[in-house]
Amino acid sequence: MSTSTTRIKKTTNKVAKKAPAKKSQSTTKKAAVVARNRTAVKARKGTVAKTTRKKSAKTTGTAVTKKRPVVHASDETSFWTTDGQILNSIVALNAALDDMQEAVYQYHVDKNRHDFADWVELVLGDVECAAALRRAKTPQSARTVMVRHLKFYTL
């Protein structure tokens, strides 16, 4: 080797051993933005591991389900209210709750019994709707339950 080659190597080594210059805040922010952009590009290419989404309690029942037909009760299993209405389906119960007086509702619903929920569960076979009806304390809240559950039926 010649002496000029040796000098170049020594000079290169001196440059490499220098302490790095202190970065300004704007340089650090720019580096963070560049790193974020690189991560976003990698995510679009599918090279970054997928993140999992935490499910909340409200989103557990939002799975797409097939709508079911409305069940009609026979004459023997129809629901007779104290004001003379005869209900044979969930649609009829929904309509009856629109006009139902508080006294009629309270006759069929109290602490120990819930005639509407029992009928919906045992005769019409809708367990989820019956459970929600058991929590309803007024005709208006029961109607809200019915409207929510009618979305699962073909009308």
Structural domain includes residue 59: no
pLDDT tens by residue, 92-139: 999 999 989 999 999 999 988 999 999 999 999 999 999 999 999 999
User: Taking a C-beta distance cutoff of 8 angstroms, is the pair 143, 98 a contact?
Assistant: yes
* Residue 106 and residue 39 share a domain: no
Q: In terms of domains, do 35 and 75 share one? A: no
Residue-wise pLDDT tens digits, 47-101? 445 555 655 555 555 566 688 899 999 999 999 999 999 999 999 999 999 989 9
Q: Which residue has the tokens 């799975």?
A: 63
Q: Kindly state whether residues 146 and 72 are assigned to the same domain.
A: yes
Q: Are residues 104 and 35 in the same domain?
A: no
Q: 135 near 118, Cβ under 8 Å?
A: no
Are 85 and 145 in the same domain?
yes
Say yes or no: 37 and 94 in one domain.
no
Specify if 32 maps to a domain.
Answer: yes
Return the amino acid letter for 14.
K
Please check whether residues 77 and 144 belong to one and the same domain.
yes
Q: Is residue 82 part of a domain?
A: yes
CB 120 within 8 A of CB 72: no
Q: Which domain holds residue 31?
A: 23-49
3-state secondary structure of 28: helix
Domain count, the chain: 2
Can you read off the two tokens belonging to residue 111? Answer: 């602490």
- Whether residue 130 lies inside any domain: the answer is yes
Classify residue 11: in a domain, yes or no.
no
pTM summary value: 0.57
CA atoms within 13 A on the CB side of 39: 8
